[in-house]
Structure 1
């Protein structure tokens, strides 16, 4: 069905589509249910119902996460707010070792939002969920007056199952371990910055937005001793490593020459005085693995489509006299401390 009562095929969201009446019902039935529901015409309850037997068969713990997305612009090279919402949530589950099972999605729609834009975003979410092997099983829709939000906000929550014996933790890194990343740094942050057009940068950079569940399964099969995993979103790799050093009470030494960064991202950072280590990613993870499994883990990552540019970027050591730290070593042997970002380098990136 290509039209929705009250807005038609080329119209916009109105306040009536959040009023609980026939217009809202039509919006839900002809847009959200058609995209997300395996059985669009089945009775719609106020909650999703997940069989416990199937959940218990997958592991011994339930993982649960939630996130909100307020990116501007809503659509950008490499994705949109919908793909960002699905990837962000399934990746938060995956880096805990969990297999994503189900997602919820709540939409705040601004009066005047173009239906065509909303359709593209919802279609992208459905496609990304299928790629990630997860279903969007419940949700909510609200409409706010024009100007109360920038077009569209999305909040997603997800549940997943952690297999027995999987104990990945940000507090588990040990001296001697190796730090890996699965690809180039800062792609999402640089893509959003260029997509805004505020700085007239004529650079083609696509977001790295991608679901990482399959990559994590590949990594854990090759390196079952993997200690820690984190997806490097806001704050970038620097933020993740600062948290990891603090939680594990260790020091981390990074090799600046080993950091994989696209030349286009380096150029944007040089112009604006930014650092790729601090820029957000939406399809990159940081893994800490035992030194004995590092080569096997790196080979497994590089064999996966989302890890072909994987690299070993540093090592874990004992905490120094001043406590946990992250240190960057450059090509000339110089060293400097990498600290936790004090705030967002870029506004509204996710």
Structure 2
């Protein structure tokens, strides 16, 4: 795309991660002329994403489930283990999909395979793809002009800002963000192991954060180890044998002998949420709207719900999807879900980190109630999988 070849679309999604691509696909299915602007996809990493409940339905609606189903591992049981050494400890709690009439809570999917399938679907749907970075947004009353890094200009009625936590589109919309940080980092790596995982995701809660084993097909799992930043860095530099032994210790040999299967990545943990989610013909999607720690597999699932509501609002306002009433509808529909999830995950993470005994007791009592009150347990499971969109 060059300056002499400017383009015009109803909707332009800036960013080509899973949430952005799903937003583009679903908006195109509503009848909008959609384009995506983002750099070429980076080399595939080995991270995985747990797609829960309604997120799987959205992937089916986007037309990609058949392409990734064989690479996905079902999550039939979600287990929480209090692995702290504190005076007050919560009981072991297991959530079984069958308790709410489901075959599985969701599926764990390699991120690279998910993005590749979404990009293939976008091409098949005829969604225009521009490779580059959005350098500037010139917001007018009736449209937004996006100035790309090569000097080309794309004109659109609505921008879907899926350009990450440091979103330029969000800044152009004038949407302020509340930010906070944790003295934590996540070490992410895939493993092979001797014993079957039985389609069970296990989250060990420790004083420094969760240590989570998430199933992959066969005798493989993904590990997300949340630790103090200096400890996460130390662990990341261990040789494969030493790291495998450390994971066996932390998992209490639940999966038997472990072998490291791939490269390691370390990510500092922080949180942020926008105070509003749409303004000036720009709507926030995914990490442009919300960021929080990897607890309970909520992050990308929340982003896909952004995508679904974004597409629904586009479909309801095809004549002008960036009109003020469309943006107000998006902001209204996303506020409760985003703020409640962000608050809940932040609070749970802080209860792990605090040494304050009354808070530890409240956390223990809450998990005990979930384990012993079936009606409450089922309600929590259903809300976690399929909140009202």
TM, length-normalised to structure 2: 0.23
Q: Which structure: greater helix fraction?
A: 2
More strand by share: 2
TM-score (norm 1): 0.24
